[in-house]
């Protein structure tokens, strides 16, 4: 059971890092606030879609792997929390 929790934490962390690193160059740019917000939402949506697509790829194309909705939930939570934290703690750059 503990291994299951570690797996979900890894999913959460990797997607949180993914969103932050993809958004970071834009965050510290001179772009307008609305442009940054628009792209933060686009990046977050793309990451959530990427998470579910990888689950389907595992189900249909990778022998021995399966679809796990909870992996996708952990991925999506990592994305959502990162968007929240970026907006809350890095608002000086918005």
How confident is the model at residue 94, as a pLDDT?
77
Structural domains in the chain (count): 1
pLDDT tens figures, 33-86 = 999 999 999 999 999 999 999 999 999 999 999 999 999 999 999 999 999 999
Task: State how far the Cα of 71 lies from the Cα of 55, in Å rounded to an integer.
Answer: 8
By residue range, what is the domain housing residue 66? 2-24+32-93
Task: State how far the Cα of 28 lies from the Cα of 43, in Å rounded to an integer.
Answer: 16
């Amino acid at each position: 059971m503990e291994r299951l929790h570690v797996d979900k934490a890894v999913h959460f962390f990797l997607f949180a890092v993914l969103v932050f690193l993809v958004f970071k160059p834009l965050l510290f740019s001179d772009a307008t606030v609305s442009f940054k917000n628009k792209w933060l939402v686009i990046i977050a949506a793309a990451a959530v879609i990427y998470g579910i697509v990888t689950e389907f790829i595992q189900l249909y194309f990778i022998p021995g792997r399966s679809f796990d909705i909870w992996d996708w939930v952990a991925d999506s939570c990592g994305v959502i929390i990162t968007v929240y934290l970026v907006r809350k703690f890095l608002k000086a750059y918005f």
